[in-house]
Structure 1
């Protein structure tokens, strides 16, 4: 009998870091059934001569909680080889949630993850209240790739405590008991674990800290024990990265993890300058793992930052009253007005009014702000910063930024590198990518629609870190391991992330010579006509989920084999 699908004569990169080899891959019933030389025909065959064949990529840190409800495509992630996305990160999401608290969670997601409220109002049917009901809603809709979910701390806290939870009052013994019970229930029906955050910048749209912000040791422990009661799972955590010392918050979670025996993955950011406090975090990881723990630091492989522009949520003038007078105009009209000398003079002489979004301080970080071209350069020379360009022209940085925003008829974008760009390079990132206790993540797909488009990081790994960087490049097999089996292990999804018999048939076929990342573009395809940044790539010849081709040469097919993953998955026998 013919195999369902055979990929012929590709350069196979197994996902475990083994050397690439030439061979075939056969697939039947959504599972890899042969690797090497495959005799006999396939109902469909793909000639991969000269192409790289990898496992599908696993993204540990996404926020597709809403998009997975209102859309059957998880783009941009699925356009960059991702076949499994884990959501519910940072302790925010949409379940559990009583009807009276819908506005609370919408306000939270709008502030923390820059998802416009109208998008959530129009896109979410709210056919659930409990977390099991939310998973049922996810399970009822086919989509292009697989999704898995963590139980988010802030909705859980609000569900248990009501307004007391929103106001961040201490949890009572009764509250803790119910949180533990609901965490057990969530893992029993399929949650991979739970997620929490103490990041200062994580605020609701109305400006309040998230409910989980200062939750104590007892609360973290109660939820963790609930996860353990159901058989175990992952703790995902965001410490206060802007505090300069996130050791105390990490220690709380590490202590709980040691007592309860659960793995932890947490967000690690590298300051561009100043004390290298991230080193202390890694020292804590080494100590915890030496004592028998399972701790990984999640790192993003390019600068953590924002994309700003006249079409986006932020720009250097977004809080200026004189600019706000024009902000409602269509882009072409706004650009025409801003091009008038008297308007330019008035805006440049103005001052911001109000604090705005907590990330808007970055909109005037001139030394760390760069024009973002096509192809985009995420490791630009310091001489290309807005500050350096202004000095070369003999103008103020504000003037240089103003003029650059008007480039490309107002479609121009500026990259603000907030972290990971230490001393103006990614050299420190290069060192950390090689550590076994560091894992890739923080792509944030499904969130920050008007400020960030980082879900494209798998393509950046394959271009910048494998092929294009002058120094510090990674071998292809190492980069693929970091995109596949390494995050799959952290998530507890041992059935995917490698090309071997019995494993899930999630695969990419890639032209390593032509793969290319394009500059983000603005599109309006969210519910209610909401805006988002999208980013495409060349070089993905095919992406396969459960044996079905979901995209060919950058174009999606009609196949929607993606499903909800309920719970951790063992390796195949």
Structure 2
């Protein structure tokens, strides 16, 4: 047998956490055909000498639901070794949908996930109504990497309940039966699971609550039961446990989450986990309740991130510290270069710094209340604002914060922030780790990642495009945690690879990927681990209708293969489009 391709001389990590070994890998017809020290001839060869070879990475938490319908490349995930991305997280998506509700779902995604509504409106062709039709449309699109879709709560609720869905009305028994039937239909068409969102931070572009945010136990369990009896499926949820409205609501909200997790007939369940400054011990409560669920037979997991859950602030971004000042609001619509020129005028600077910021959130605004809270407490917030640098450093000490620098320089925090956003001709980005950085280090992040119920997630690939670029998590885990970290313990490279591959494939029930074994898909990364690293995030305008988004490039990826074809060679995207829609249960 002549192989299509072989990878030679690499240090092979099997994905299961075992010790790596030197071996060659042979590929035939998109599958791994041989692994050993001496394999057959091949039409092509990739030299992996000095590199590590891993299974392709999986991402269980992305938001490419709209982008996947027009974009064949799916950056930034493809640049960071991801070969299978699961979208449809947090209850927001685009199917099922009636023609009259297109704009309503766009406003949901725009508000919740910070994806420009004009880009969605121009990019999506809406050649579907039902979820099976949506999957058919996705299947027709060529792409670099594989995708899988969760069916999402918000569009199903709108599809069934119409205007009642967006006015926080409880679903009737008939409504719930219809939502359950639609979910079952989607699962039988190959959806990987069902997701819901229950957080006050998520708002539509008009500032309204999301349809699913206050769903009752009866509704959630009714929908979750659609997975009962199927051979596949996961449940996913995000919740802030009503902290904005009731700081003592944790147990009652977790009771709702628990009932939802139990409703699917034993399917895996995952809940987002992070440390919040305003409830610094809540993550420990989530772990405690999740451990009790696990001990009672529920396959409960929590999705964790390998660094702070943060946002970028800057003149090009969705948010920045000066956007609530009246003088800035008068020039906010001008091109960047014009704004920078105006802001460099000393008189304009003095006038702006003398002003009191106005409220951003409120009725009719998509800005979350957190935006006002941050500006009102800027002296405190500035103690967690950092420059990343050309070699991005996400775990910096307190003395590096812009607030600390302002104090050392004898200037006001506002002046320091003003000068910082003007750096690099107004393209400078300030990093603000909102979550997971309460103690100004990653010791709690490490505890989360090491918990046996934890799975790596929360990258939000394709979402929050004007504020976040966390689709780079895989590169960060392998470079920082598995090689560079000096402020505390590291994670062994073989364990880091396992977290990105077999752990996630097992959670999703994808038995054909996530490991380097003969007969499995040839989704493979060849990585120069010593050179692996991140470049600074950058803003680009490449979305439909001129929409902009943050991208973050990586270095060190000699090759990323999807189905045996290289979609990345030497860090650059190729013309190959072997990615497929994963239909579970087929």
Q: Does 1:249 align with 2:260?
A: no
Alignment of 1:20-169 (within 5 A): 20-169=20-169
- Report the Cα distance in structure 2 between the residues aligned to 1:401 and 1:257, rounded to whole angstroms: 44
Contact 2:26 2:40 in 1 (8 A): no
- Report the Cα distance in structure 2 between the residues aligned to 1:368 and 1:99, rounded to whole angstroms: 44
What is the CA deviation profile of residues 101-147 of structure 1, one whole-angstrom value per residue up to 9, with x for unaligned ones?
11110111110000111101100111111111111110111100000
Find the counterpart in structure 2 of residue 454 from structure 1: 470
Contact 2:67 2:120 in 1 (8 A): no
How far the C-alpha of 1:254 sits from its partner, in A, is 2.1
Alignment of 1:220-239 (within 5 A): 220-239=220-239
Find the counterpart in structure 2 of residue 271 from structure 1: 276
The change in CA–CA distance for 1:428 and 1:476 in structure 2 (over 3 A counts) is: same
1:384 to 382, 385, 400: 400
- Report the Cα distance in structure 2 between the residues aligned to 1:213 and 1:327, rounded to whole angstroms: 32
Contact 1:405 1:412 in 2 (8 A): yes
The change in CA–CA distance for 1:523 and 1:275 in structure 2 (over 3 A counts) is: closer
Task: Report SS of the residue matched to 2:338.
Answer: helix
How far the C-alpha of 1:493 sits from its partner, in A, is 1.2
Find the counterpart in structure 1 of residue 3 from structure 2: 3
How far the C-alpha of 1:354 sits from its partner, in A, is 3.0
The change in CA–CA distance for 1:55 and 1:163 in structure 2 (over 3 A counts) is: same
2:322 to 317, 321, 329: 317
The change in CA–CA distance for 1:62 and 1:526 in structure 2 (over 3 A counts) is: same
Find the counterpart in structure 1 of residue 349 from structure 2: 344
How far the C-alpha of 1:328 sits from its partner, in A, is 2.0
Task: Report SS of the residue matched to 2:307.
Answer: coil
Contact 1:63 1:447 in 2 (8 A): yes
Structure 1, unaligned runs of 5 or more = none
- Report the Cα distance in structure 2 between the residues aligned to 1:271 and 1:461, rounded to whole angstroms: 21
- Report the Cα distance in structure 2 between the residues aligned to 1:185 and 1:122, rounded to whole angstroms: 28
- Report the Cα distance in structure 2 between the residues aligned to 1:316 and 1:372, rounded to whole angstroms: 17
What is the CA deviation profile of residues 34-61 of structure 1, one whole-angstrom value per residue up to 9, with x for unaligned ones?
1122322111111111100000000000
What is the CA deviation profile of residues 66-123 of structure 1, one whole-angstrom value per residue up to 9, with x for unaligned ones?
1101100110000000000000000001111101111110111110000111101100
Q: Does 1:369 align with 2:385?
A: yes
- TM-score, with structure 1 as normaliser: 0.97
- Report the Cα distance in structure 2 between the residues aligned to 1:249 and 1:299, rounded to whole angstroms: 20
Find the counterpart in structure 1 of residue 364 from structure 2: none
Find the counterpart in structure 2 of residue 566 from structure 1: 583
How far the C-alpha of 1:232 sits from its partner, in A, is 4.4
Q: Does 1:539 align with 2:556?
A: yes
- Report the Cα distance in structure 2 between the residues aligned to 1:76 and 1:531, rounded to whole angstroms: 13
Q: Does 1:484 align with 2:495?
A: no
Contact 1:109 1:204 in 2 (8 A): yes
Structure 2, unaligned runs of 5 or more = 362-366
What is the CA deviation profile of residues 509-536 of structure 1, one whole-angstrom value per residue up to 9, with x for unaligned ones?
0001111100100101101111000000
- Report the Cα distance in structure 1 between the residues aligned to 2:155 and 2:222, rounded to whole angstroms: 15
RMSD across aligned positions (CA): 1.4
Task: Report SS of the residue matched to 2:84.
Answer: strand
Find the counterpart in structure 2 of residue 203 from structure 1: 203
What is the CA deviation profile of residues 460-500 of structure 1, one whole-angstrom value per residue up to 9, with x for unaligned ones?
00111011101211110000000111111112212111101
